[in-house]
Structure 1
Amino acid sequence: MNDADTQDAAGKATGWRGSREVWLAAAQEAFIESGLDAVKIQPLATRLELSRTSFYWFFKDRAALLDALLETWEQTNTGGLIAATQAYAETITEAVLNLASEFLEGGAFEARLDLAVRGWAHQSDAVAARVNVADETRLEAIRAMFDRFGYDPSEADVRARTVYLVQIGYISMQVQEDLAVRMARIPDYVKTFSGLAPSQRELARFHARHGYRPKTGSG
């Protein structure tokens, strides 16, 4: 009996096949860690200690799993970004802080997944097309956010590009930035993106949202 047969037997004995979410989460983790070639049925079954045949209860084939990965990326990253741009804000600076929250720990945007999908796009014209659509959709959402606060269309477009391209640069360069450093830069980023400085009250709410306490005084 080979390893695959042993796993199939174990799966039949326990009756546990996992779930669509379990298989998809394992695929996403493997994809982020090791790239597209790691997203294969048998290695995922081994990772999950499930039978290979269990996979087929939830996905027709590997292509269906890969498509589900892209759908998850679109829902999580593009969907989360759009929701952030539409979140309640009394000022443009508060709106920009809402958007900034998406890219910090606890935000919906998964930077490592975005980076992995962009790498995949270099291998597939179909994926590259979906990335292009996602980028334009995200930019349009950010433009609409600036439009909502009365910016001229051309200015809204440039400001949206500045916000988004800076963030994509962070992702593409895999910048590792200490939270305290990032938080110290946030007010100037907001001023650069919007032309206005955030109020101390807005920054206090932003800090609280992320469980951050700025150091005060000389200590």
Structure 2
Amino acid sequence: MKQLKPEKTTGWRGSEELWLQAAYETLIEQGVEAVKVMELAKRLDLSRTSFYGHFENREALLQALVERWRQKNTGNLLERTQAYAETIAEALFNLFDCWLCDDLFDARLDFAIRNWALSDPELRAVLEASDQERIDAIREMFVRFGFEPDEARVRAYTVYYTQIGYISMMVDEPPEPRIRRMPIYVETFTGTHPTEAEVARFASRHGMSADFVQRRSGGQAAL
């Protein structure tokens, strides 16, 4: 277990972000049942009363965790679906950045929230609303590129549920093989082939060459 050991001065109560980060790490490692004020205080080597200088109670801390998840995961996903793209293939590559960049989308946090929601009906409702918001954003992305609404929704389901499957099954693999397959995912999800230039731009921003990601066959991206 990672221990946060802040440098302290007399009477220091930590910071709101410090307590929230400790709660986040505990949620990821042990689940919501372990997110308790006394245990967090021990983890931070601070007094229990210090917590109440930043949060009214444990419930307020838990709500802050949920808000962090909503802002980071759902917020960034929506932004990536709206990012500039000239084709649906390029738009999907923009979305795929979420699956590869922890700064954009925290898969471990998404998994922890889903586990937590199994025993919390109120959070489950929040999760379901967030899932729907994400799916709607992906659907609108397809619609922008000329897909009929019903078809766009089915394609959005396919894209989103595939990724949630990765998260729920705790698939752990190096990024390289997954990135290498992504042009084929684009073709599968959109019915179109990404261009060499689109693959090259996507590969470059993830520190790889287009030759690594694709093998050219008739001008199409392939493994």
TM-score, structure 1 length as denominator?
0.90
Query: Runs of 5+ in structure 2 lacking a partner?
Result: 1-6, 216-223
Total equivalences in the alignment: 207
Contact map agreement 1:101 1:107 (CA 8 A) in 2: no
C-alpha distance in 2 between matches for 1:15 and 1:81: 41
1:56 alignment partner in structure 2? 52
Report what 2:147 is aligned to: 151
Instruction: Spell out, residue by residue over 1:48-77, the C-alpha distance to the aligned partner (whole angstroms, 9 max, x if none).
Output: 122211111110000000111111111111
Query: Could you tell me how far apart the structure 2 residues matched to 1:120 and 1:141 are?
Result: 24
Deviation by residue 1:110-154 (Cα, 9 ceiling, x = unmatched): 111111111111101101101110110000000011111111001
Distance 2:197 2:101 in 1: 21
The answer (yes or no) to whether the contact 1:106–1:210 under 8 Å persists in 2 is no
Using the alignment, how far apart are the partners of 2:206 and 2:47 within structure 1?
A: 40
- Secondary structure of the structure 2 residue equivalent to 1:174: coil
State the 1:15 CA deviation: 3.1
Matched to 2:12, the amino acid is: W
Q: How does 1:132-151 map to 2 (within 5 A)?
A: 132-151=128-147
Aligned amino acid, residue 119 of structure 1: N
RMSD of equivalent CA atoms:
1.7
Paired with 2:134 and 2:190, the residues of 1 have a C-alpha distance of 17
Q: Which residue of 2 aligns with 1:81?
A: 77
Please tell me whether residue 46 in structure 1 is matched to residue 76 in structure 2.
Answer: no
Aligned to 2:117: 121
Does the Cα contact within 8 Å between 1:115 and 1:172 map onto a contact in 2? yes
Taking a change above 3 Å as real, the CA distance of residues 102 and 175 of structure 1, as seen in their structure-2 partners, is same
Question: What is the match of residue 16 of structure 2?
Answer: 20
Looking at both structures, which has the greater relative contact order when contacts are Cα pairs under 8 Å and sequence separation is at least 6?
Answer: 1
Consecutive unaligned residues of structure 1, counting only runs of 5 or more, are: 1-9
CA separation of 1:186 and 1:107: change in aligned 2, threshold 3 A: farther
- Of Structure 1 and Structure 2, the greater helix share is in 1
CA deviation profile, 1:35-94 (whole Å, cap 9, x unmatched): 011111111111112221111111000000011111111111111100110111111101
Percent identity (aligned): 53
Give the residue type in structure 2 aligned to 1:40.
K
Letter in 2 for 1:116: A
- Residue of structure 2 in register with 1:5 after alignment: none
Q: CA deviation at 1:168?
A: 0.2
Q: Which runs of 4+ in 1 moved over 6 A?
A: none
Distance 1:14 1:64 in 2: 26
